[in-house]
A = this chain, B = another copy of it.
Amino acid sequence: MRQIKRSRWIPDRENLLVEETLFHNANGYIGVRGCLEEGYPDGYDTIRGTYINGFYDYVPMPQAEKLYGLVEEKQTILNVAEVQGIRLNLDGEWFSVFEGEILDSYRVLDMDKGITHRWISWKSPQGKVLEISIKRMASFTMLPLFLIEYEITSVNYNGKLAFYSMHSGKVSNYFNPDDPRVAGKAHVFLQVTDQESSSGFSRMTARTSKSGLSVTTAVRNVLAADSLPGHGRGGQEERVLETEEDGFTERITTYIAENESVRMTKYCIICDSTRYPGEEEAALALCREASEIPAEDWFGRQAAYLDKFWNNCDIGITGDHELTEALHYNMYQLLQSAGKDSRSSIAAKGLSGEGYEGHYFWDTEMYIMPFFLLNDPDTAVKLLRYRYHTLEHAKENARILGHKKGAAYSWRTIMGRECSGYFPSGSAQYHISGDIAYAVVAYYLASRDLGFMEEYGAEMLVETARLWMELGNYYEGTFQIHAVTGPDEYTCLVNNNYYTNVLARYNLEWAVKIIRILEEGGRAGKVIDKAGVTRAELQEFEKAAGAMYLPYDEKLGINPQDDSFLKKKKWDLSEIKEEEKPLLLHYHPMYLYRHQICKQADTVMAHFILEDAQDVEVIRRSFVYYETVTTHDSSLSSCIFSIVAAKLGMVEKAYEYFGESAKLDLFNTHKNTKDGIHTANMGGTYMAVVYGFGGLRTKESGLYLAPVLPKRWTGYYFQFQYQLRKIRVTVNARQTEIQLMEGTFLPLWVHGKLYQLTHRLIIDAAQG
């Protein structure tokens, strides 16, 4: 049973915002924060949001000093409508968990069923006792559908009961001028342009002010017939659907008696103009379709969908229920967050909040893609196709940055254009283009899907490779890349960032390689024509890759993060006071840049993603060195250190790093879960188990495993898909069992030794 349960749930002022995030309902297309249907008393902060993945408006972002090419307009995700509001009136008394008495309660995220459930046994100030059960769901089988099943059971009350169901366009985004991680200003983005109601349906269309997009919401409230038995005033129901300025309230009045239940289902359809052209009609039609199906059936479909999902990505830590639960939670959130229509990706906060304004970062490709590659390749393809879809914007961005050729993917974006207001840790992170190229190759290696490469992948590899040619230059026979920023945002605008250079080399090599592979299959014509690839250009790629400069320090025997990193002033990590953390909130960027201090894994990350570029002893020394200078002020860091520690056999250290990251949101350890979940970290914890402890690698040369077991675990298991196979790995202190669940036999490397996997392989721990 995969679930997160808060028993004896009480509305804790501090925690309500965090729970809105943790219990949000999303399906990759829409997301609704887990706010209380009945609302909050005055003075309670709430981020009452409903979001659509990839739906945005433009916001001016003036630069303090205008310089050529600096970004002055960004995109932002929008709170599109209020649909979750349902207030309950009991003969004059309003239901509120902040009044009366909560006799018993719980709140559950049921990940097997794909729903959230709030249950309260409540005694009103006047003594009415009722049980209230609220189930919510963002449907995975009908993406525009958000559904609430609201059921009241009377314990001692006989009388009138009225639902007030809200459907409103009076919404704005959350803002907080004091927090650099959320938007600083309130904006009214959406204007309701059209609304109508008929036969119990309400429909509202709103248009963005600048991006020219529109969204239609349609709502229908249905009182379940079976919940209105022929008691006293049997089945009576009075409905008033009031049209207001920018919205509706439907009041549904009925009666309830002791031991009776009343159940209402609210069907909400959210369609935007990019995915549902003619969305006014589409939304109404879908609302009609959805509301003819009882909630129970929708729950059944949802459960079936999730059954399949979990069946594909089973994972667990034997004997550590809490950790297993955290892993399940993380994977479930990735599922909730991932765009599945090739027109959207995975926002830094998924669809759970407005932090980072709904932007997509490298997080998708480097932290989340592995989960989908190994468990849900269809979604992985769609995420890559989203990047292909924005390739023209990436080319345009490259031109803005001065480059005559190639594609420079935006560091943060929704529709493709750059949204970073501070280029030293924004556009300067050119590595994102390499990251996307890396993900394209990773998909190819895990799938051997030549069709994708022919149609999309090869072109992306060529255009990103061109960027490196534009960026780099030869100096004394080496190919160097200057004035870029690697993953570590405490060290910006540097020369020859190791991560960037080694990734650029890989990108250049694979651009050449994939053309060759396609040519061998007679399938290279398309990309050669479309991208205008020439033999000479491929030779240039090869030459640059061959001459790529990778900084190496002879004395320390490590790869310096960049040309000057080791010359900088040291900063003793033990001297950093608690109140100075994270450093970025207490030090001027230049001060950070001047020091040997890292926000996050950078060279260590390169040593993970391209581990064969260096001897393992170099990696070991690098790892040890960077440990002493890394603050892990980013949630993207610990998981990578965990993976590399595991690779180096430092299993207990790997465990420590892992422990810090797995429960970030569930325990709100970064204190900003209210703004949304940390999707990259969630992907990272998955990677830490599978790539870290499991030692999984999918390389050109084949499949690799190297399981290790931290002392505090009795065992663990995970499953994954690889080249049309399904494989299950079970590890305990005694042995590693590798099971080929589906597909044909394959050779694989376990702890550096080649095996043939036909059905089941059991390897003694001693051999590992």
Q: Give A residues with C-beta under 8 Å from B.
A: 61-72, 180, 184, 400-403, 420-424, 426-428, 471-473, 475, 480, 482-483, 492-493, 495, 563-564, 567-570, 584-591, 593-594
Residue of B nearest to A403 (CB): B591
A145 to chain B, nearest CB (A): 37
Is there an interface contact between B495 and A493, defined as CB atoms closer than 8 Å? no
Contact of B493 with A590 in the complex, beta carbons under 8 Å = yes
In whole angstroms, how far apart are the Cα atoms of A427 and B428 in the complex?
A: 20
Q: How far is A591 from B68 in the complex, measured between Cα atoms in Å? A: 10
Which 5 A-B residue pairings sit nearest by Cβ, starting from the closest?
Answer: A64-B421, A402-B591, A69-B588, A473-B569, A65-B421
On whether the beta carbons of A590 and B495 are closer than 8 Å, the reply is: no
Q: List 30 A-B contacts (CB under 8 A).
A: A62-B62, A62-B64, A64-B70, A64-B72, A64-B421, A65-B422, A66-B180, A66-B184, A67-B180, A67-B589, A68-B584, A68-B589, A69-B587, A69-B591, A70-B588, A402-B587, A402-B588, A402-B591, A423-B589, A428-B590, A473-B570, A475-B567, A482-B567, A482-B593, A482-B594, A483-B568, A483-B594, A495-B567, A563-B564, A564-B564
CB neighbours (8 Å) of A568 from chain B are 473, 482-483
- Closest chain B residue, CB of each to CB of A481: B594
Whether the Cβ atoms of A482 and B61 lie closer than 8 Å is: no
The answer to whether B67 touches A422 (Cβ under 8 A) is yes
> Are B68 and A588 within 8 A (Cβ)?
yes
Inter-chain CA distance A568–B549, complex, in Å, is 13
Question: Whole-angstrom distance from the CB of A399 to the nearest CB of chain B?
Answer: 10
Q: Closest chain B residue to A180 by CB distance?
A: B66
Are A482 and B564 touching (Cβ within 8 A)?
yes
| A400–B71 CA distance with the chains assembled, in angstroms | 26
The residue on B at minimum CB distance from A400 is B588
Closest to A563 in B: B564
| Chain B residues in 8 Å Cβ range of A473 | 568-570
In the complex, A180 Cα to B70 Cα: how many Å? Answer: 12
Tell me which residues across on chain B come within 8 A of A428, comparing CB atoms: 590
Chain B residues whose C-beta falls within 8 Å of the C-beta of A403 in the assembled complex: 591
* Distance from A381 Cβ to chain B, minimum over Cβ atoms (Å): 33
Cβ contacts under 8 Å, A564 to chain B = 482, 495, 563-564
The residue in A401, A420, A475, A589 that gathers the most chain B C-beta atoms within 10 A of its C-beta is: A589
Shortest Cβ gap from A594 to chain B (Å): 4
Knowing A62-B62, A475-B567, A493-B593 are in contact, say whether A68-B587 is a contact too (CB < 8 A).
yes
Q: How far is the CB of A476 from chain B (nearest CB, A)?
A: 8
Partner of A401, one of B70, B422, B569, B591: B591
Q: Looking across the interface, which residue of chain B has its beta carbon closest to that of A426?
A: B65
Q: Name the distance in Å between A418's Cβ and chain B's nearest Cβ.
A: 11
Q: Is the CB of B585 within 8 A of A68?
A: yes
Contacts of A593 on B, CB cut-off 8 Å?
Answer: 482-483, 493
Complex contacts, A71 vs chain B, CB 8 Å: 64
- The reply to whether A586 and B64 form a contact with Cβ atoms under 8 Å apart is no
B residues in contact with A589, CB < 8 Å: 67-70, 423
Residues in B with CB closer than 8 Å to A585 are 68
Report the Cα distance A427→B563, complex, angstroms: 23
Tell me the complex Cα distance, A504–B426, Å.
Answer: 32
**A366 → chain B, closest Cβ, in Å?**
22
Known: A64-B71, A594-B482. A424 touches B421 (CB 8 A): no
Give the docked Cα–Cα distance between A140 and B106 (Å): 82
A72 to B63: give the CA distance in the assembly, Å: 11
Check if B567 sits within 8 Å of A401, measured CB to CB: no
Beyond A66-B184, A67-B422, A69-B591, list 8 extra A-B contacts (CB 8 Å).
A65-B422, A67-B588, A401-B588, A401-B591, A482-B564, A482-B568, A483-B590, A493-B590
A103–B402 Cα gap in the complex (Å)? Answer: 54
Closest to A177 in B: B66
> Quick one: closest B residue to A586, CB to CB?
B68
Which chain B residues border A67 with CB–CB below 8 Å? 180, 422, 584, 588-589
